Amino acid sequence: MLSPLVIVMVVFLILPIAMIVTVSFWQATEWSIIPAFVFENYAFLFGSPVTYKVFVNTFKYALITWACTLLIGFSVAYFLAFHVRSMRWQITLFLLCTIPFWTSNIIRMISWIPFLGRNGIANSVLMSWGVIDAPLDWLLFSDFAVILAFVHLYTLFMVVPIFNTMMRIEPSLIEAARDGGANGLQILWHVIIPLTKPGIMIGTIFVLTLVMGDFITVRFMSGSQSANVGRLISNDIALLQYPSAAATAVVLLGTVLLMISILLRFVDIRKEL
C-alpha cells in the first residue's frame, strides 16, 4: 500500500535532489557543461566574499521576517482562540485572514509598489498630515520594503499552525492556572506558550524555508539593489551556469536542513502532524 507514495517520493523528491547534487560537481565552461567530478564550483562558492555577504543578507531577511510573523501570527491566533467564543465567528475571522491568499503572490507583492513609492499613497498621506516635509525614499526599493512584503506574504503560514495548536489547549488548564492565582501574563508565559511550541516550530519552519528560497520578492521590492541566495541561484541559471547554481542550491538546502534539525530538537512536532 505504500508503493504509490514511495514512487511519488522517489520521482518528485529524491531523484531531483540527486540530480542537483550530481550536476553541482560538473564543470562548466563558456560554451559547454562537462559531466565531471570536480570541486571547483564549491571552491569558487566558498572562496568568494560575495557568497558570505549574500548568505548573511539571507539570514537577516529570514530572522527579521520570522520575528515579525511570529509576533503578528501569535497575536492573531491568540485573539481567535481565546477571545472569540463563537465557533462561527472564529471560522469567519479566520477566512478573512486568508482572503489575500486568494490572489497570486506576485500580485500581492507588486501591490505594495504604488503604495510605498515616492509619490505613493503612504508618502502622500504622511505629507498631507504634516508628519513629513518630503517623501521618504526608504519606503520602497529597500530592505524595509523586502521585509514588509515577506511579512505580508508569509504571516498566514505562522497563524495557521499556532491557531491549530491553541485550539487544542484544554480550557480547564487555563481555569486551573487562574484559580491558582496566576494573572494573565503568567498564564500566557507558563501555560499557553509552552503548549503552543509545536505550532510555533511548524510555523517557524514554514516561514524560514519560504523566505530563504524566495528570490522574486527580493528582486522586485529591493529594486535589484539587494540579493539573497535565491537570487544568486537565479542569476547563475540566467547565465546558463547550471553547475554553479546547483552547488549554491545544495549549500542552501544543507543550511535549511541544518536549521530544521536544530529546531526539531526543541520540540517533538510529530504529535502535531
- Among 1.10.3720.10, 1.20.1180.10, 3.30.565.10, 1.50.10.10, name the CATH number for the domain at 50-271: 1.10.3720.10
- By DSSP bridging, strand 27-28 and strand 33-34 are antiparallel
pLDDT, residue 32, reads 79
Dihedral sign of CA atoms 226, 103, 163, 93 in order: positive
Residue type at position 16: P
Nearest residue to 143 (alpha-carbon basis) of 223, 53, 235: 223
Mean pLDDT for back-to-back runs of 10 residues, the chain (273 residues): 89 93 87 85 90 93 96 93 83 82 82 87 88 85 92 92 89 86 86 90 92 89 86 88 93 92 78 58
Q: Which residues contact 168 (CB under 8 A, 6 or more apart)?
A: 195
Grid cell 523528491 in the structure block, residue? 13
pLDDT, residue 269, reads 67
pLDDT, residue 270, reads 66
pLDDT, residue 78, reads 92
pLDDT, residue 271, reads 62
Domain range annotation of the chain: 50-271
pLDDT, residue 23, reads 92
Cβ-based neighbour number of residue 82 at 10 Å: 16
